[in-house]
Amino acid sequence: MKELELKYGCNPNQKPARVFMKEGELPFTVLNGKPGYINLLDAMNSWQLVQELKEATGLPAAASFKHVSPAGAAVAAPLSDLLQKVYFVEGVELSPIATAYIRARGADRMSSYGDFVALSDECDAQTASFLAREVSDGIIAPSYSPEALEILKGKRKGTYLVLQMDKAYEPAELEQKEVFGITFEQKRNTVKLDEECLKDIPTQNKVIDEAAKRDLLISLITLKYTQSNSVCYAKDGQAIGIGAGQQSRVHCTRLAGNKADVWHLRQHPKVLALPFKAEVRRPDRDNAIDVYISEEWEDLLETDDWKRVFTEKPEPLTREEKKEYLKGITGVSLGSDAFFPFGDNVERAHKSGVSYIAQSGGSIRDDNVIETADKYNIAMAFTHIRLFHH
């Protein structure tokens, strides 16, 4: 198929809309559902991300996309008993690709609501069964087992979007897009991100262990497909906080850091012990946990709204308890899609347990940034690679 007509573009008033190839056939096949314009933007970006993650780490990879930026990305690192509980998969034997997606979805479950899924490897029945219970708009993968395809075709009353991507597809070196009737052309961003880009370490602490290298690469590859400016925190084989599309880099660092803090606080004993009613669905649990962790919880206690999801009024998680819990977090990796212009980014990163940083370097204040990293014994690599994505 060379061309595919779409219902509309980014918005319902933007008609007509289509995707097409100037040469050759479209590199994907629609196995179920009807793709939308934004679905396909998510699919093409997320597909590239998971392919590069697998190439860099050698592990199956998955991404959870929303509005052309990842809400989460991960590789198939085994889940601890604690994370199994946090991700609602206690006692379930998981395949590698299912583990990768469960991690990707778990990075920011609020943002992943209604996501587009990308898998580097075949979608198996186990992954499809997990997806069947989640609110999601579609998936792209290189193949599907017969059982998985049957499960996915039954999702959303039979309308769930299932795309199969041709793994052999290689796009042209030059890419184009039109804005306001003007054609933009550039070389596609084919830069390879591997351990070579982590070798220039100007800080006093020059030790970046293998797990941290993996996590730094996950953060950098994730940023390559995140709307800029962007910063990504990663730990344990997955992104845990992504700050996308901010005009100020420190705002990216704060936004992503706040998301990373929530990811850690979801593992707090008080959160794990929340007395949910048995009939409360996962999205409602996610919303309730988010409110419980936030400053909005005190306001909610003044009403009876908590009774909708809890069997009894939970004991509050105080600001002091949250600060004390987060003080114990270390070993987090952070990537930035461009240089840190000031040391304030490192100061904020330190508050979220960052021990390793990868950024391009090249600021006129690099000395100040390095000095701030040294203050906290953070190992920081200069990649000399900028990863803007627009």
Cα gap 219→334, rounded to integer Å: 7
Per-residue tokens: 252: 């990216």
Say how far apart CA 177 and CA 184 lie, in whole Å: 5
User: How many CB atoms lie under 10 A from the CB of residue 220?
Assistant: 29
In a domain, 389, yes or no: no
Work out the angle at residue 335's Cα, subtended by the Cα atoms of residues 334 and 341, and round it to the nearest 5 degrees: 105
Please state the pTM of the whole predicted model.
0.96
Q: How many domains is the chain partitioned into structurally?
A: 3
Q: How is residue 196 written in tokens?
A: 């070579």
Q: How far apart are CA 358 and CA 334, in angstroms?
A: 6
User: Is 277 contained in some domain?
Assistant: yes
164, part of any domain: yes
Give the pair of three-digit tokens for residue 206.
């020059």
Residues 48-103 have pLDDT tens digits of 999 999 999 999 999 999 999 999 999 999 999 999 999 989 988 899 999 999 99
Q: What is the CATH number of the domain that holds 345?
A: 3.40.140.20
- Catalytic residues, by residue number, are 66-67, 229, 390
Per-position DSSP letters for 23-58, written without gaps between them: SS--SEEEEES---HHHHHHHHHHHHHHHHHHHHHS
Domain with 281 in it: what CATH number?
Answer: 1.10.287
What is d(CA 120, CA 53) in angstroms, rounded to the nearest whole number?
8
DSSP for 331-387 reads -EEEEESS--SSTHHHHHHHHTTEEEEEE----TTHHHHHHHHHHTT-EEEE-----
Question: Would you state the pLDDT for residue 305?
Answer: 77
- Both 216 and 359 in one domain: the answer is yes
| Pairing relationship of beta strands 182-187 and 174-179 according to DSSP bridges | antiparallel
Pair (251, 341) in one structural domain: yes
pLDDT per position as a tens digit, 160-215: 999 999 999 999 999 999 999 999 999 999 999 999 999 999 999 999 999 999 99
Q: What domain range is 23 assigned to? A: 3-170
The domain boundary residue, chosen from 170, 186, 202: 170
Residue 300 has pLDDT above 80, yes or no: no
